[in-house]
Amino acid sequence: MDARAPIAETDKKPEQAASAPRPRRWRGRLILLILLIVAGAIVWRLRTAPPQQNAAAGRFGRDVPTQIVAASVKNGDIHVRLSALGTVTSLATVTVKTQISGQLTKIEFKEGQEVKKGDPLVEIDWRPYQLALEQAQGTLAKDDALLEDAQLDLARYEGLAKTNAIPRQQLDTQRALVHQYQGNVSTDQAQIDVAKLNISYCHVVAPIDGLVGLRQVDAGNYVMSNDTNGIVVITQIKPISALFSLPQANLPVIRKLLASGQPVEVTAYDGSGVNVLETGELVTADSQIDTTTGTIKLRAQFPNDKEILYPNQFVNISMLTDTLKDVPTLPVAAVQHGVPGDFVYLINADQTVSVRIIETGPSEGGAIAVKSGLATGDQVVLEGADKLRDGSKISLGQPGAGGSGKGKGGSGGAPAGEGASAPAASGAAVAPGAAAAPSPGAAAPQGDGAAPVAASGGAAAASAAGPAAGASVDPNNPRKGRHLRTSQ
């Protein structure tokens, strides 16, 4: 039994060893099959993706003309202006106060009423001053009688003095008495004039033309000349002025304009800076510069016939300093911005565009002056510049069909390294005729036989704006042969 037992155990071991690996081999085959299916799906996806990218690249590639809207460089006038924030200020503001004391009996104006100089405003009780007038008139009549009597005596004394009938001293005394009465009469007459003046002060009238404000006292109150608030405030609004400040660097130009004697046009705009409120002219400048701000204060005057301007109103001031006559101009929307400065896309005779660096001047009403870089008659891209690069083919379209790129500094004129229309990458200058550097996320244009350029948007990004990063191009046909290559 002991000898056969080991033999039985050794007979079982080969069967167990043969049957154990079978489940493991099936699991391994199943995993391998799954990996093959996944790999096949990835290969199929990679082979089917490039045709969509090629279609997008074909739309935006150099071989397809880009539709744009053109604008011509024309000669025109550009007005040079200085702008500032101003405050409307009345030329005269008067607080109407009484010059005598008395009871306010009548108010003859309405709040907010426009009055003329001399119009009645209020009336103060004049009866006490009328009695004072009558008293002064009575005193004058008495002194007149005394003066007349003294003058008659003087005439008699002068006749007697010729015959030495009276002493010389008596004649001199009579003459002095006449002069005394004459002084009394003059004093009485002054008292009468004062009483009449006080009566006139009882009828308060408007001292200037202007707009009446809110009254400070009601009828029935006792008013005095030392009242601080007064009765009412009158503000002149026609004409009216505006105070504004400009940097001291503009002082030579301002002084030259004032010394010329010619009217300097000043326009007041509303808070939006679009609507014209009133047009006037520059009057004067302050006698010194404000050391705290480094500015010079100026005053402009406006007729304000329509009473649009109101005291203490904030307005935008535009002062005309010069007019550039018959200079080359083009729309502001055609000017792009980049690292080299201002530039435009110049339309060539072969229906291509080239980058042209320009120097611009003042702008007005959507047009900007061109100092250098363009000539009258040149055509530049107005709309559709966001899809162009140096040497791109173009086709002319109608306004509004050229895409974005409207407005100076808009999407059509993005700085270099930020948009498709930038003429150069950061830190590089572009001369006319040179190719522009690609911007992030934009399709890199490929020429025949050129090496592929990868966009910085990511290796796996495939969008309608351009081919994916790492795509290769068939030199014979840019629309074919693009295959996605994974980057390490």
- Answer yes or no: are the C-beta atoms of 419 and 87 closer than 8 Å: no
Distance CA 385, CA 355 (A): 11
- Answer yes or no: are the C-beta atoms of 117 and 207 closer than 8 Å: yes
Strands ordered across the beta sheet of 210-212: 93-96, 232-235, 210-212, 114-115
Residues paired with residue 75 on neighbouring β-strands, in sequence order:
328
Q: What is the pLDDT of residue 385?
A: 86
Distance CA 75, CA 85 (A): 32
- Answer yes or no: are the C-beta atoms of 317 and 89 closer than 8 Å: no
Distance CA 187, CA 179 (A): 13
Q: What is the pLDDT of residue 238?
A: 93
**Residue ranges in 362-410 assigned as alpha helix (H):** none
Element (H, E) at 7: helix 4-19
Nearest of 48, 4, 73, 144 to residue 334 by alpha carbon: 73
Residues paired with residue 103 on neighbouring β-strands, in sequence order:
222
Q: What is the pLDDT of residue 26?
A: 75
Nearest of 339, 349, 438 to residue 388 by alpha carbon: 438
- Answer yes or no: are the C-beta atoms of 345 and 356 closer than 8 Å: yes
Q: Tell how far CA 239 is from the center of its chain.
A: 24
Residue-wise pLDDT tens digits, 295-333: 999 999 999 999 999 999 999 999 999 988 999 999 999
Q: Which amino acid is present at 121? A: L
Q: What is the pLDDT of residue 48?
A: 65
Nearest of 93, 104, 142 to residue 225 by alpha carbon: 104
Distance CA 248, CA 259 (A): 17
Q: Write out the two tokens for 69.
A: 């809207």
Strands (E) in 65-119, as ranges, are: 66-72, 74-89, 93-96, 102-107, 114-115
Nearest of 208, 213, 254 to residue 230 by alpha carbon: 213
* Four-point Cα dihedral 288, 291, 292, 294, nearest 10: 80
Q: What is the pLDDT of residue 467?
A: 36
Write out residues in the chain with pLDDT < 70, as ranges.
1-24, 48-63, 398-488
Instruction: Flag whether the pTM goes above 0.85.
Output: no
Contacts for 451 with CB less than 8 Å, ≥ 6 apart: none
Q: What is the pLDDT of residue 166?
A: 86
Class of residue 45 by CB neighbours under 10 A (exposed 0-12, middle 13-18, buried 19+): exposed
Q: What is the pLDDT of residue 45?
A: 77
Q: Which amino acid is present at 4? A: R
Q: Crossing angle for the helix pair 50-60 and 22-48, nearest 10 degrees?
A: 20
Collapsing DSSP to helix, strand or coil, 80 comes out as: strand
